[in-house]
């Protein structure tokens, strides 16, 4: 099993913070397949 809780990823510049992930919970059981896709593919 793969498990995350409250996962956050922020990309920052001097002027702005962009949240790619904001407090995400993911639970992946054995044998499951997961893909996370966004605008860039």
Asked if pLDDT for residue 41 goes beyond 80, the answer is: no
Q: How far apart are CA 33 and CA 29, in angstroms?
A: 9
Q: What is the pLDDT of residue 25?
A: 96
Tell me the C-alpha distance between 7 and 31, whole Å: 22
Q: Terminal CA-to-CA distance of the chain, rounded, Å?
A: 25
* Structure-block tokens of residue 30: 């054995």
pLDDT in tens, 13-27: 999 999 989 999 999
For the chain, the domains span 1-41
């Amino acid at each position: 099993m793969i498990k995350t809780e409250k996962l956050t990823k922020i990309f920052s510049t001097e002027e702005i913070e962009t949240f790619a992930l904001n407090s995400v919970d993911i639970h992946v059981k054995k044998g499951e397949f997961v893909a996370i896709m966004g605008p860039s593919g």
